[in-house]
Chains A and B, each alone.
Chain A
Amino acid sequence: MASVVRGVFKAMREKGLGNFIKEIRDEGYLKCLSDGNLLQTKIHNIGATLVGVDKFGNKYYEKLQDTQYGRHRWVEYAEKGRYNASQVPPEWHGWLHHITDHTGDELLMLKPKRYGAEHRENLSGEGEQYIYHSKGHALNPGRRDWTRYQPWQSKDN
């Protein structure tokens, strides 16, 4: 604990108070006060190794000693307020869920460039425009036209 406090003071001295407070806010330490999950993650992070950071800024940690098996890999989301599991891109999913020991960065090198859509998080419940509508749905902006003939349009219109 003492080393933590010492580290804090060191950082404060190096960066100056303004930068330090900004960083504290960006890293979500202020949010910790109201969000217990985030606080617990932050506490976990102490002494863990940062394995990688994905393109969205999510940080992946691992701690092999002093943790219960199966709880030794975790992610700290880049989005501190509205995080959810679908923000983990597919290349890190395997590592995070103990499917593979290859990290996302390693797997990314194997991924063919041509295929695969960009990863998008699941935006359910975030508003009408994010909901998937089938191609004939009334609310689909690109609603498919099933008419099998082309009606005549008068030229003067």
Chain B
Amino acid sequence: MGFVLRALRRSKPFLQSQLSRRSPNPTPLRWISSTSALSKPESSAAAEPEPVPAPERPRTPVGGARLHFASPAEAIEVFVDGYPVKIPKGMTVLQACEAAGVDIPRFCYHSRLSIAGNCRMCLVEVEKSPKPVASCAMPALPGMKIKTDTPVAKKAREGVMEFLLMNHPLDCPICDQGGECDLQDQSMAFGADRGRFTETKRSVVDKNLGPLVKTVMTRCIQCTRCVRFATEIAGVQDLGMLGRGSGEEIGTYVEKLMTSELSGNVIDICPVGALTSKPFAFKARNWELKGTESIDITDAVGSNIRIDSRGPEVMRILPRLNEDINEEWISDKTRFCYDGLKRQRLNDPMIRGPDGRFKAVTWRDALAVVAEVAHQVKPEEIVGIAGQLSDAESMIALKDFLNKMGSNNVLCEGNGPSLLADLRPNYLLNSNIAGLEKADVFLLIGTQPRVEAPMVNARIRKTVRATQAKVAYIGPTTDFNYNYDHLGSGPHTLLEIAEGRHPFCSTLLSAKHPAIIVGAGLFQRQDFLALFSAIEAIAKFGKVIKPDWNGLNLLLLNAAQSAALDLGLVSNHNESIPSAKFLYLMGADDINLEKLPDDAFVVYQGHHGDKGVYRANVILPSAAFSEKEGTYENTEGCSQWTVPAVPTVGDARDDWKIVRALSEVAGVCLPYDNIGAVRARIRMVAPNLLSVDERESSTVSVEMKPPFAEKLSLAPFRKAVDNFYMTDSITRASKIMAQCSATLSKK
């Protein structure tokens, strides 16, 4: 058979010329060569001698990546498809190929996970090697000659693909991964055009991993990416591999839900449709969606996300790569809070009538009522509170408006009574999230990063895994996903360390890059200033602040917090709320309004009917973060922009526009008409908010401190976040988050 084919192929030019000579108008005759040409690589290689590679331009690495050489001596040279490429020592063959611009197909290999080498898709031919080698697990050696497009490599991939597809169901039309599936794409590019498998396929029982991750285990190709993600990055030992051979399957060893705050990421890393998003199941196809690159505001980290929307609906949220903040992961709260954007929305301006019921009115009437009442009270009785989801533009507008009305009582919820807002290093994560990887000793004071900022926690865990850094913790009992020493639960331990009486002091002193992380939950304490000076004493004692390393960090809780501090929304709510007669809540739901006088007039401007609405007299509907352009500063002082992905609902308006319109109706018109002008105003107050995606390093020394009078109380620290899944108005409105907190959060 092979001989006949070869003979035909040899005679092809001759036959073709004969045929074309006979017919004056030659129909294009095509010779169908079957894959049997590839089934005998040696013979076909012999038949068609290797063409000499024509000199081309030097290839660029995959994705435009740049190589980092520790020293020139570390570089080795390998040849990929005949092209010489210089790579650092210790790279694998697959990475060398990527540096040479050749994308090797792979399923199990993931650059942020350990190497497993079990899918065999990345087989390449290496000269003087008897068999094709799995490039992801093979270190590149000097002078290695790697061939990625030879018949041997092609045949190897085709064979692997055939084996993978043997037990893979043909259910792409009903699979949620369809369209963004690695197996689909790679079988199109590298697979054979037919299968030879006629037996029955195996099937695997689906596992219940909780309300977020849907499993269709028959589709699993055993790449073990999810197992490695769970153990290495998420730090939970929930997933594992059971059985051998064709009985091999991924599962939780016993019937158990996956209780990790990062569990949604297994959906992204799964190369097939075995793990998909449960809330997104059968809702949309990925090619129907419009992606908008935005940022997340459910915590203070400001993870980079892509909001996928269809029409006026947010369909899902995916992470976006940002090495400095969230790498390529996001927390479950970020990923699955989106259904909260569709529920409990405020869509019309409303006024509470004398009978205590809300009635929808026009903007004209609502603003007129608010402006009238604002003029009836004394200026110092006007209080404005920005919520934890407010953007910088609306906060500066609110502050300017209240200042023009004669009041300076503007604050941001979560920022507590006494603050050190004069110097930026006093409220920022000074060593940066990425910089935490350098630290070798962590001291966490009153913070549970796992629930307060999962991405920061993932960074700490990464550091602990990579360098065995020590973690010490002061605060209430909580669970970490890495080893830690629980030093104590209150300021008492803090004082001991500050005075050098604690055994931890020696660890702190021996550290090269010690990092202290203070939780923003402590802002709520009356003795915060005293507490902070004790922490500073520890920092001084432990030499935490060095010329090249500032390890004294504050970990904020809310997206609006640092921008509010930058803009000077720093009034004391304990003093202002009891005397308020006109309270302007800009999305503030978590502020304690018990002390508010009963005759106070409350305006609630926000996007969700949450706690704040029930005390409100007037409701002004505004846009949520997915619907507006806004500047948010994250906990490390990096400001980023959200981008509108979907239109606003109902009759809602952007936050700063509402304040601007109200100011005009009230007769104290603010001088900006568009977002550029608002930003120009921000430039006068806090120019760092405008340098997007940059961190401005602090240069001021932290020696200058205002004097404080409070005494340090010895009350133990309390948890800042009770329920990880429900922290703000969007997540509280979300059904998925309610399910999560019912099933997953530990009581």
Residues of A bordering B, CB below 8 Å: 148-157
Other contacts beyond A151-B347, A152-B613, A154-B613: 6, CB < 8 A: A149-B342, A150-B343, A151-B344, A152-B345, A152-B346, A152-B608
Q: Are B342 and A154 in contact (CB under 8 A)?
A: no
Q: Are B342 and A148 in contact (CB under 8 A)?
A: yes
Nearest CB to that of B345 among chain A residues? A149
Residue with the greatest number of chain B CB neighbours at <10 A, chosen from A150, A152, A155: A152
Nearest CB to that of B356 among chain A residues? A156
Q: Are A157 and B358 in contact (CB under 8 A)?
A: yes
CB < 8 Å neighbour of A148 from B313, B346, B357, B358: B313
Q: Are A148 and B311 in contact (CB under 8 A)?
A: yes
Q: Which residues of A contact B347 (CB under 8 A)?
A: 149, 151-152
A32 to B650, CA, bound (A): 62
- Chain B proximity of A150: nearest CB distance (Å): 5
Q: Given A154-B609, A154-B613, are A149 and B357 neighbors across the interface (CB < 8 Å)?
A: no
Q: List 8 A-B contacts (CB under 8 A).
A: A148-B342, A149-B649, A151-B344, A151-B345, A152-B345, A152-B347, A154-B609, A157-B358
Q: Assess whether B139 is interfacial by the CB under 8 Å rule.
A: no
A155 to B357, CA, bound (A): 9
Nearest CB to that of A155 among chain B residues? B614
Residue with the greatest number of chain B CB neighbours at <10 A, chosen from A148, A153, A155: A148
- Chain A proximity of B135: nearest CB distance (Å): 47
- Chain A proximity of B597: nearest CB distance (Å): 21
Q: Are B358 and A150 in contact (CB under 8 A)?
A: no
Residue with the greatest number of chain B CB neighbours at <10 A, chosen from A148, A150, A151: A151
- Chain B proximity of A25: nearest CB distance (Å): 59
Q: Given A149-B649, A151-B650, are A157 and B345 neighbors across the interface (CB < 8 Å)?
A: no
Q: Which residues of A contact B313 (CB under 8 A)?
A: 148
A156 to B649, CA, bound (A): 23
Q: Which residues of A contact B2 (CB under 8 A)?
A: none
Q: Are B311 and A152 in contact (CB under 8 A)?
A: no
A53 to B657, CA, bound (A): 73
Residue interface bits B300-326, CB-to-A below 8 A is 1, else 0 = 000000000001110000000000000
Q: Are A152 and B342 in contact (CB under 8 A)?
A: no
8 Å CB interface, B195-239 against A:
none
- Chain A proximity of B744: nearest CB distance (Å): 24
Specify the main secondary structure of chain A where it touches its partner.
Answer: loop
Specify the main secondary structure of chain B where it touches its partner.
Answer: loop
A153 to B350, CA, bound (A): 11
- Chain A proximity of B493: nearest CB distance (Å): 45
CB < 8 Å neighbour of A151 from B312, B341, B346, B357: B346
Residues of B bordering A, CB below 8 Å: 311-313, 341-348, 356-358, 608-609, 613-614, 649-650
Q: Which residues of B contact A148 (CB under 8 A)?
A: 311-313, 342
Q: Which residues of B contact A153 (CB under 8 A)?
A: 609
A148 to B342, CA, bound (A): 7
A154 to B359, CA, bound (A): 10
Q: Which residues of B contact A150 (CB under 8 A)?
A: 342-345
Q: Are B344 and A152 in contact (CB under 8 A)?
A: yes
Q: Given A149-B343, A149-B345, are A154 and B358 neighbors across the interface (CB < 8 Å)?
A: yes
Nearest CB to that of B312 among chain A residues? A148
6 closest A-B pairs by CB: A152-B609, A149-B342, A148-B313, A152-B344, A151-B347, A149-B345
Q: Which residues of A contact B312 (CB under 8 A)?
A: 148-149
- Chain B proximity of A148: nearest CB distance (Å): 5
Q: Which residues of A contact B341 (CB under 8 A)?
A: 149
A148 to B613, CA, bound (A): 22
Q: Are A154 and B357 in contact (CB under 8 A)?
A: yes
A150 to B342, CA, bound (A): 6
Q: Which residues of A contact B343 (CB under 8 A)?
A: 149-150
Q: Which residues of B contact A151 (CB under 8 A)?
A: 344-348, 649-650
Q: Which residues of A contact B609 (CB under 8 A)?
A: 152-154
- Chain B proximity of A75: nearest CB distance (Å): 46
A156 to B345, CA, bound (A): 17
Nearest CB to that of A152 among chain B residues? B609
Nearest CB to that of A153 among chain B residues? B609
A157 to B311, CA, bound (A): 31
Q: Which residues of B contact A149 (CB under 8 A)?
A: 312, 341-343, 345, 347, 649-650
Q: Are B357 and A157 in contact (CB under 8 A)?
A: yes
Q: Are B342 and A156 in contact (CB under 8 A)?
A: no
Q: Which residues of A contact B311 (CB under 8 A)?
A: 148
Nearest CB to that of B310 among chain A residues? A148
CB < 8 Å neighbour of A156 from B344, B346, B348, B357: B357
Nearest CB to that of A151 among chain B residues? B347
Q: Which residues of A contact B650 (CB under 8 A)?
A: 149, 151
- Chain A proximity of B729: nearest CB distance (Å): 10
Q: Which residues of A contact B356 (CB under 8 A)?
A: 156
Q: Which residues of B contact A152 (CB under 8 A)?
A: 344-347, 608-609, 613
Residue with the greatest number of chain B CB neighbours at <10 A, chosen from A153, A155, A156: A156
Q: Which residues of A contact B345 (CB under 8 A)?
A: 149-152
A118 to B347, CA, bound (A): 43
Q: Which residues of B contact A154 (CB under 8 A)?
A: 357-358, 609, 613
A157 to B345, CA, bound (A): 16
A153 to B358, CA, bound (A): 9
A104 to B342, CA, bound (A): 53
Nearest CB to that of A154 among chain B residues? B358
- Chain B proximity of A151: nearest CB distance (Å): 5
Q: Which residues of A contact B614 (CB under 8 A)?
A: 155
- Chain B proximity of A110: nearest CB distance (Å): 33
Q: Which residues of B contact A157 (CB under 8 A)?
A: 357-358
A150 to B346, CA, bound (A): 9
A149 to B609, CA, bound (A): 13
- Chain B proximity of A129: nearest CB distance (Å): 31
A141 to B437, CA, bound (A): 62
Q: Which residues of A contact B348 (CB under 8 A)?
A: 151
- Chain A proximity of B627: nearest CB distance (Å): 11
A75 to B651, CA, bound (A): 60
Nearest CB to that of B360 among chain A residues? A151
- Chain B proximity of A118: nearest CB distance (Å): 31
Q: Which residues of A contact B342 (CB under 8 A)?
A: 148-150
A157 to B350, CA, bound (A): 13
A155 to B346, CA, bound (A): 13
A150 to B313, CA, bound (A): 12
A97 to B127, CA, bound (A): 79
- Chain B proximity of A147: nearest CB distance (Å): 8
Nearest CB to that of B608 among chain A residues? A152
Nearest CB to that of B347 among chain A residues? A151
- Chain B proximity of A139: nearest CB distance (Å): 25
A153 to B344, CA, bound (A): 7
A149 to B621, CA, bound (A): 14
Nearest CB to that of A157 among chain B residues? B357
A155 to B609, CA, bound (A): 10
- Chain B proximity of A18: nearest CB distance (Å): 67
A152 to B649, CA, bound (A): 12
Q: Which residues of A contact B613 (CB under 8 A)?
A: 152, 154
A125 to B356, CA, bound (A): 49
A147 to B341, CA, bound (A): 13
A39 to B363, CA, bound (A): 70
A149 to B343, CA, bound (A): 6
A76 to B205, CA, bound (A): 61
- Chain A proximity of B387: nearest CB distance (Å): 16
Residue with the greatest number of chain B CB neighbours at <10 A, chosen from A148, A153, A154: A154
- Chain A proximity of B686: nearest CB distance (Å): 33
Nearest CB to that of B313 among chain A residues? A148
Nearest CB to that of B646 among chain A residues? A148
